[in-house]
A = this chain, B = another copy of it.
């Protein structure tokens, strides 16, 4: 991945790590369940954004290289991976 994209994704992951720690403290100090639920959904949304950035990178780099390449098995493998990411993300 390019430096800029990597550092953007890292910044997001570090912030998510802190957010999860914050939710743990909310649980420890016995805060209102619904507030905790809303914070968890906020973390999941932030992870969705990381997901979509990593996928963006993947499609522009490895996937493009493989699909433009001459090895049909490799093309098939890469397309299968993209479909799996899609299914797994939906089937949570």
Contacts and interface: CB of A to CB of B under 8 A. Distances in A.
A69 B44 CA distance: 33
Q: How many copies does the complex hold?
A: 4
B36 A54 contact: yes
Interface of A: 1, 6, 9-10, 13-14, 16-17, 20-21, 23-24, 27-28, 30, 32-34, 36-38, 40-41, 43-45, 47-48, 50-52, 54-64, 67-68, 75, 79, 81-83, 85-92
Given A37-B89, A56-B83, A86-B86, 11 more contacts: A1-B27, A6-B27, A6-B30, A17-B20, A33-B55, A34-B58, A37-B54, A47-B47, A52-B86, A90-B92, A91-B92
